[in-house]
Amino acid sequence: MMFGILKYHWRAVLWIIVIAVACLMPGDKLPDASFFSKIPYFDKIVHFAMYFIFALFLMSGFSRQYGKTSAKAYVFSFIPACLMGILIEFIQDKIGRSYDMRDVIANTAGIIVSLLLFNPIKWILRNIL
């Protein structure tokens, strides 16, 4: 069962690890981002992008697994991705980083935009690139 899931969702699983490492690393161990701190809302852009990619990987896995993009794939991508975004924020609060509702909103926005753009992106990747 686990290897069947990994067959289609290994990209999403790897991306979960990337998100967890990036978001759960102690604040004093984060790379110096003084250059990027000058960009307004840079942190929210990063959250948006991480979860945009995560939802794409989930949808891509379900699309390959079921041979099509179904409503079930959208639900099975949206709910776990949103729950992960919320869970990571709660864990951050427990390990000395801060819970930020704006991060949850940026995560969710990235997921929604990713799911809305999945079919056009999939079409471009298959037919143009």
What is the percentage of the chain residues whose pLDDT exceeds 70?
89
CA distances from 8 to 45, 58, 60, 96 (A): 27, 9, 8, 35
Tell me what pLDDT residue 104 has. Answer: 96
pLDDT at 58 over 80: yes
CA separation for the pair 80, 52 (Å, rounded): 13
Residue 105: name the closest of 78, 86, 84, 79 by CA.
Answer: 86
Tell me what pLDDT residue 66 has. Answer: 82
Alpha helices, DSSP H only, in the chain? Answer: 2-24, 42-66, 71-94, 101-127
Assessment of whether the complete model's pTM goes beyond 0.85: yes
